[in-house]
């Protein structure tokens, strides 16, 4: 081994750890209506984020808003491919969800999320959105960087309500056969708030195929996080959960280096997976109290 190589490798390892540092988001617990708290993002992604507090139906609700200086191409599990100038994750207590939705979960989109967008200074059609009953103050943010490319995962993660094992637990809603009943009242479910919402940002210019592929990579990372945090199915005793029945993701492309490969053998895929896995683990710990296996 060449002289000085151990020292060089030690420096490289320290730099890698620094680049993968977990951003613990400490949002004020007493954030009142009309107040906002900034969320730090690396400058490479050219975005600004904040959490805003606003009342809804007499309850405190909070919305994470990520704004971009220009329309960004994104892939959302709600919208498909689209161009938007903002992404938001709206968090409201279960009581608000039930009062807005009744028996139709799509009512939440038409009313609560649109209202949250306007209160955040956004035209509802300008933003891609996610929604959750998890507390937005339990947001986890992680960053992975390599040679000028950054990947950021912003995650809220609850799994005490409707954690499922894919391929084992049953899906009751038959969309093509019954009236819309996407959201039965949450009081009839187990206590707690369950949804994993992921917003994935990067400065890399993702081709459409890379955006589609990174959905698989991020999902695999989420499953790995659920396994390492030992999250059980809420429905089948003894089964390991792979996610919840309401998980969503938005992947936002940047304007920098072009990326076509986002699988596990590609560096971008590795970065996305690491960012998502660590953020999901931190979100599960903060929201639901899960801890990593010893």
- DSSP 3-state assignment of 1? coil
* Beta bridge partner(s), residue 22: 142
Q: pTM (2 decimals)?
A: 0.86
The torsion angles phi and psi of 178, rounded to 5 degrees, stand at -120, 165
Domains of the chain as residue ranges with CATH: 23-288 (3.60.70)
| Residue 63 contacts residue 88 (beta carbons within 8 Å) | yes
- Tell me the per-residue pLDDT of 38-85, one tens digit each, with 9 for 90 and over: 999 999 999 999 999 988 777 888 999 999 999 999 999 999 999 999
- Tell me the per-residue pLDDT of 160-198, one tens digit each, with 9 for 90 and over: 989 999 999 999 878 787 654 444 444 334 444 689 999
Instruction: Please enumerate, as own/partner, the contacts of 57-61 that have beta carbons within 8 Å and a separation of 24 or more.
Output: 57/95, 57/96, 57/99, 57/100, 59/92, 59/93, 59/95, 59/96, 60/33, 60/93, 61/90, 61/91, 61/92, 61/93, 61/96, 61/112, 61/116
| Residue 119 contacts residue 33 (beta carbons within 8 Å) | no
């Amino acid at each position: 081994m060449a002289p000085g190589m151990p020292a060089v490798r030690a420096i490289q390892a320290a730099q890698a750890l620094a680049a993968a540092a977990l951003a613990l988001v400490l949002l004020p617990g007493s954030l009142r209506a009309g107040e906002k708290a900034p969320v730090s993002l690396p400058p490479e992604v050219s975005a600004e984020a904040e959490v805003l507090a606003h009342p809804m139906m007499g309850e405190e609700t909070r919305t994470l808003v990520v704004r971009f200086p220009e329309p960004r191409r994104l892939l959302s599990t709600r919208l498909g491919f689209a161009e938007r100038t903002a992404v938001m994750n709206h968090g409201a207590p279960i009581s608000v969800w039930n009062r807005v939705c009744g028996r139709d979960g799509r009512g939440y989109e038409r009313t609560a999320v649109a209202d949250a967008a306007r209160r955040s200074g956004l035209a509802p059609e300008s933003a891609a959105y996610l929604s959750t009953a998890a507390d937005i103050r339990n947001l986890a943010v992680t960053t992975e960087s390599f040679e000028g490319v950054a990947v950021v995962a912003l995650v809220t993660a609850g799994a005490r309500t409707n954690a499922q094992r894919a391929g084992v637990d049953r899906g009751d809603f038959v969309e093509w056969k019954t009236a819309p009943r996407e959201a039965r009242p949450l009081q009839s479910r187990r206590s707690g708030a369950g949804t994993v919402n992921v917003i994935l940002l990067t400065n890399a210019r993702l081709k459409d195929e890379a955006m589609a592929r990174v959905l698989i990579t991020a999902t695999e990372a989420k499953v790995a996080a659920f396994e390492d945090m030992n999250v059980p199915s809420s429905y089948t005793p003894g089964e390991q959960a792979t996610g919840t029945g309401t998980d969503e993701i938005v992947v936002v492309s940047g304007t920098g280096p072009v990326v076509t490969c986002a699988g596990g053998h590609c560096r971008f895929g590795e970065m996305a997976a690491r960012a998502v896995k660590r953020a999901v683990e931190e979100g599960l710990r903060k929201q639901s109290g899960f801890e990593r296996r010893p």
